[in-house]
């Protein structure tokens, strides 16, 4: 069975309580549950991970090469600032999808540039929690097209 890693960056643990105008009422636990359900339907094993610490996220990305078939990542604020995450993502040859709950291109100027997107196969943004479902569909196609 194929296995994917779903990584969530800083402050996403606060979903449902912060900036509801951008992120809605959904919680990270709800997103985790939706992802688990979708992966099960698609016969994909998944691991869900969230950290507020850049180094922990980088270590998790490093683990992908030997234990996973692909990554879905919501780097959150690190999207716009972290060359270290970009380098970690570039270091793995596994398929990668970047996802954002809000449409980063309709937000503040500093959020409109995704540094990390330079290392992923594609980006999905602006679809709320459904973006994760779309990302699972996309990563599945990428994983199976590499076989």
Nearest to 80 by CA among 96, 61, 102, 59: 102
Of the candidates 62, 80, 100, 132, the residue annotated as catalytic is 100
Catalytic annotation present for 23: yes
Say which residues have a Cβ less than 8 Å from residue 65's Cβ, sequence separation at least 6. Answer: 91, 92, 93, 94
Q: Are 89 and 57 in contact (CB under 8 A)?
A: no
| 100 is a catalytic site residue | yes
Of 33, 7, 12, give the one whose Cα is nearest residue 102: 12
Instruction: List all residues 6 or more positions away from 93 whose beta carbon is below 8 Å from its beta carbon.
Output: 65
CA distances from 117 to 17, 79, 85 (A): 27, 8, 10
Residues taking part in catalysis = 23, 100
């Amino acid at each position: 069975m194929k296995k994917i890693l779903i990584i969530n960056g800083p402050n996403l643990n606060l979903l449902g309580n912060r900036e509801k105008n951008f992120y809605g009422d959904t919680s990270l636990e709800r997103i985790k549950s939706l992802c688990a359900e979708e992966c099960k339907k698609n016969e994909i094993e998944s691991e869900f991970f969230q950290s507020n610490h850049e180094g922990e996220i980088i270590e998790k990305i490093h683990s992908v090469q030997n234990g996973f078939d692909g990554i879905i990542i919501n780097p959150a604020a690190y999207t716009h600032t972290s060359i270290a995450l970009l380098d970690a993502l570039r270091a793995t040859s596994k398929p990668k999808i970047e996802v954002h709950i809000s449409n980063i291109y309709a937000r503040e100027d500093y959020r409109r540039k995704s540094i990390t997107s330079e290392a992923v196969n594609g980006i999905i943004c602006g679809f709320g929690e459904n973006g994760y479902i779309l990302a699972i569909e996309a990563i599945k196609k990428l994983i199976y097209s590499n076989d």
